[in-house]
Amino acid sequence: MSTLTDREMTILRGIAAGLTYTQIARRLNLSETTVGNNARQLFRKFRARDRANLVYIACQHGLIGRTAPRRPQASTTATAGHARTGAATPSSH
């Protein structure tokens, strides 16, 4: 695999984040055509079949981290004497 340019790395991160080419283009102030051309270069360099395969191969090469999708966080309001875990306060019996 050949070296990636800074722009290719930025676009790769956008693809890994699940962004569309349009979204990536808007964030980077580029045309969709430019993003698409860079993405095609990434597919060629990685010999990837599709976006998921591209991200998988990039992870295998240590170019992007393996992160779980973000989930909404539970409420973190504290109750008297209890840790901020979002868990319900136990009732006394």
| pLDDT reported for residue 13 | 96
What is the CA 74 to chain-centroid distance, rounded?
22
Name residue, tokens 């409420």: 75
C-alpha 78/C-alpha 93 separation (Å) is 21
- Given this model, what pLDDT does residue 50 score? 96
Tokens standing for residue 84: 């901020």
6-60 under CATH 3.90.470.10, yes or no: no
Distance CA 66, CA 16 (A): 10
Residue 18 has pLDDT above 80, yes or no: yes
User: Could you count the other beta carbons within 10 Å of the beta carbon of residue 49?
Assistant: 11
Report pLDDT digits (tens) over 35-92.
Answer: 999 999 999 999 999 999 999 999 999 998 865 455 555 555 544 544 444 444 444 4
pLDDT at 65: 81
* Section 5-31 average pLDDT: 97
